[in-house]
Amino acid sequence: MKKYQIILLAMLCLGSYAKAQRLPLDSVLARVNTNPALQVYDAKASAQDAYATGAKSLDAPKVSAGQYQVPYQLNPNGGAFMIQAEQMFTNPAKLKAKEDYMKGLSNVTKEDKNYLKNQLIAQAKQYYYERVVLEKKLALLQNTQSLLEYMLKDANIRLTYGKEKLPNIYKAKAELFELDNTREQLNNEVSQKNIMLNTLMNRDKQTVFTIDTNIVLTAYETVLTDTARLAINRSDIKGINRNIDLQTLNAQMEYSKRKPDFGIQAAHMQSYGGYANQYILMGSITIPIVPWASKEYKANLKGIRYEVEELQQKKLDILNQAQGQLAGLRTDMGSKKRQLKNYEQNIIPALQNGYKTSLQAYDQNTGDLPSVLNNIKDLQTARMSALDRLQELLTLQVAYEREYESN
């Protein structure tokens, strides 16, 4: 019965592994769009668009009724009972300017969303690349484990014939057990990256998935910064441009305040004492250009000009900072690539040759086991360091793409 239970458990494990979804980087980035933080901006933009639909509404009419010029006596023979209605008509140009301004608010919100989206995509890339490197390190550990297990097996055979020392075998076992700690740490980090990626994709945090470990390194270090393209790509620059557009609409709304509003007043008076009934029909117009009324919108227009100037300077500052950041990233990427190349072409091959030489000497009984173990450890350390350089290079690539917004 126990045998069948083991088989069933193995089948369940294989089934769960087979069901693990494989997500390439593009799929992960596409799912970032469902992040709740981005949905917040969608709701906010929809609210602003909804508010804009009521921008052209007029003020509510006013209706009044009551005694008009009636003397203080029980049976008045003068005055009247009056019913009156008033309506103010805001200048259509003011209403149009207000509507345009309110519609412009959602454009700013949409660019704010794009800016956050770029940050979330950069985070997703960073976590994804970190997991790729972690899995490469796990594969490297498996390779080192195979080497150590082979050496331990060979050493145990030699021990039987008195050609190996017991402390050396214990040293090999310790090296092998040390790999378990390293593997446990790497597996923990893989789980952490999974949780972070699932969080960005707004999925169940414990969902297991596999990834594509193929990495594309882009030669950004050879590219010169295109300032025009940078200004076009960056969502924070677009956001500033939308804010400038919004301030232009705000200025138009303030300038429209110099236009007059109109009103109409109508009333009917039912006279007492047999006098003829009367009515009132009057039109009104505001005069906003008088000095004591125009002071406010003139001051507002002046302030808006300064705000636009501030936004222009802010845009220039962001572009200047971005150009410096990109130049620094290119220099750093070039250095990291040269270091990685040195590992791949010089350091690791030299250590591999050292390992092969010590192994050959050990097979010929002219070397010892500690020398072979040290060479295996040095080779693993160098390969791990090369993967660390790769991770640093990928981090720089993500930072470059975040600055350029070349997603």
DSSP string, 164-175: S-HHHHHHHHHH
- Is 2 a residue whose pLDDT tops 80? no
* pLDDT tens, position by position, 55-87: 999 999 999 999 999 998 878 788 899 999 999
Integer Cα distance of 61 and 328 in angstroms? 64
Question: 154 lies in a domain?
Answer: yes
Question: 185 lies in a domain?
Answer: yes
Integer Cα distance of 404 and 323 in angstroms? 9
Question: 74 lies in a domain?
Answer: yes
pLDDT band at 406 (very low <50, low <70, confident <90, very high): low
Instruction: Pick the more confident residue, 5 or 215.
Output: 215
Question: 3 lies in a domain?
Answer: no
- Is 305 a residue whose pLDDT tops 90? yes
* Eight-state DSSP code of residue 79: -
Q: Could you list the residue range(s) of the whole structural domain that residue 399 is in?
A: 20-404
Three-class SS of 3-50: HHHHHHHHHHHHHHHHHCEEECHHHHHHHHHHCHHHHHHHHHHHHHHH
Q: What is the DSSP string of 327-380?
A: HHHHHHHHHHHHHHHHIIIIIHHHHHHHHHHHHHHHHTTSS-HHHHHHHHHHHH
* pLDDT tens, position by position, 312-362: 999 999 999 999 999 999 999 999 999 999 999 999 999 999 999 999 998
Amino acid residing at 129 = Y
Q: Can you tell me the mean pLDDT for 227-237?
A: 88
- Is 99 a residue whose pLDDT tops 80? yes
pLDDT value at position 389?
96
Question: 10 lies in a domain?
Answer: no
From the list 377, 388, 384, 387, the residue with the least C-alpha distance to 354 is 377
Question: 79 lies in a domain?
Answer: yes
pLDDT band at 407 (very low <50, low <70, confident <90, very high): low
Strands 209-211, 80-89: pairing kind:
unpaired
Amino acid residing at 107 = N
Q: Can you tell me the mean pLDDT for 149-168?
A: 87
Q: 3-state DSSP call for residue 290?
A: coil
pLDDT value at position 19?
59
* b/e code 50-86 from CB counts within 10 Å (16+ = b): eebeebeeeeeeeeeeeebeeeeeeeeeebbebbbeb
Q: Can you tell me the mean pLDDT for 129-138?
A: 96
Q: Which are the contacts of 321, defined by CB distance < 8 A and separation ≥ 6?
A: none
CATH number, domain of 146, equals: 1.20.1600.10
Report residue 188 as tokens.
Answer: 């923990």
* pLDDT tens, position by position, 273-284: 888 999 999 999
- Count how many domains the chain has: 1
Integer Cα distance of 113 and 130 in angstroms? 26
* pLDDT tens, position by position, 367-394: 898 999 999 999 999 999 999 999 999 9
- Is 24 a residue whose pLDDT tops 80? yes
Amino acid residing at 109 = T
Element containing residue 81 per DSSP (H, E)? strand 80-89
Instruction: Pick the more confident residue, 353 or 14.
Output: 353
Question: 14 lies in a domain?
Answer: no
Q: What is the DSSP string of 173-194?
A: HHHHHHHHHHHHHHHHHHHHHH
Mean of the per-residue pLDDT values for the chain? 90
pLDDT value at position 1?
39
Strands 62-68, 80-89: pairing kind:
antiparallel
* pLDDT tens, position by position, 242-268: 999 999 999 999 999 999 999 999 999
Integer Cα distance of 119 and 401 in angstroms? 10
Question: 178 lies in a domain?
Answer: yes
Residues present in the chain in total: 407
Report residue 266 as tokens.
Answer: 């109508």
Specify the pTM: 0.85
